[in-house]
Structure 1
Amino acid sequence: MRQQRFIELGEGYSDIYELCELIKTNASRLQRTFLFTATTKEGKRCLSIAASFSPAGEGGFYPIYICREGIPSKEESPSKRQLVFEEAAASVGSKPIPVDLKHSSEFPETKLFYQYVTGILRLNHLLPPLD
């Protein structure tokens, strides 16, 4: 039985560097990288960065590591954190896929937000279907 789950990291530089290290050290398992853009109720845009991996061994667990909504989004110039993530992805041959989403504050629970994101990714064939 396959299981897909978001594993939330923090939003600071150290968390982004941890995600970049996961991408580099698990390059053979990396499936996709993502740049999720959301707009807050106040009209501010922010980014989440994420990476999905295939299962390790025969476990059937598909992790999706994410740094949720901690990066301010400016169309005219990407932030240092976004550039670090894009460089790490490029170093293993991945180009982050941009996806516009609702902000997580629009959901009463984080779990519902992740169900919504999973649905969007599956509808666009960016995550494999469950068995």
Structure 2
Amino acid sequence: MIQRFIEIGEGYGDLYELRELISTNPHRFKHGFIFASPTKEGIPTLSVAAAFEPASEGGFMPIYICREGIPENSKRLGIFEEAVKKLGHTPIKMDVKHSSHFAEKRFYFSHLIAILRLNHFIPPMQ
């Protein structure tokens, strides 16, 4: 199974696209995540992500993410939380390193996938 983050933006207008993906795919929705990442200056930023079950063929498990553009206690965060709660789930909150700590974005996403696997939120690599 291939698990991959698909970045759809930084949590501005693209957050509404993520909400739409969640609401139109309730049969595939697995988990909603809120990643808290302090910047190098210590300012907390949030990322929101939604993991979906793999498609019936191909074994590809997408995890859509709006990366590090949402301030704490913002209306945009509430929109995401509401979409997840409508499906009977609770968003999973985690503190993670900011992506600026990694040389490349792909290393950051690999780091997040490892954390999600270790916590059994997504299946192990097969």
Q: In which range does the TM-score fall when normalised by the shorter chain?
A: over 0.9
Gap regions ≥5 residues in structure 1: none
Instruction: Return the match for 1:107 from 92, 102, 105.
Output: 102
Return the offset for 1:13.
Answer: 3.1
Instruction: Return the match for 2:124 from 116, 124, 129.
Output: 129
Alpha-carbon distance between aligned partners in 2 of 1:125 and 1:62, rounded to the nearest angstrom: 14
1:117 and 2:116 correspond: no
Residue-by-residue CA offset, 1:90-118 (whole Å, 9 max, x unaligned): 11112100011000000010010011111
Runs of 4+ in structure 1 deviating by more than 6 angstroms, as ranges, are: none
Alpha-carbon distance between aligned partners in 2 of 1:72 and 1:12, rounded to the nearest angstrom: 9
1:1-131 superposed matches below 5 A: 2-73=1-72, 78-131=73-126
Q: Percent identity?
A: 56
Alpha-carbon distance between aligned partners in 2 of 1:109 and 1:71, rounded to the nearest angstrom: 21
Alpha-carbon distance between aligned partners in 2 of 1:15 and 1:50, rounded to the nearest angstrom: 12
Output the amino acid matched with 1:30. F
Equivalent pairs counted in the alignment come to 126
- Mark the CA change 1:67 to 1:12 in structure 2 (over 3 Å): closer, same or farther: closer
Q: Over aligned residue pairs, what C-alpha RMSD do you find?
A: 0.9
- Mark the CA change 1:58 to 1:24 in structure 2 (over 3 Å): closer, same or farther: same
Normalising by structure 1, we get a TM-score of 0.93
Alpha-carbon distance between aligned partners in 1 of 2:54 and 2:104, rounded to the nearest angstrom: 27
Normalising by structure 2, we get a TM-score of 0.97
Gap regions ≥5 residues in structure 2: none
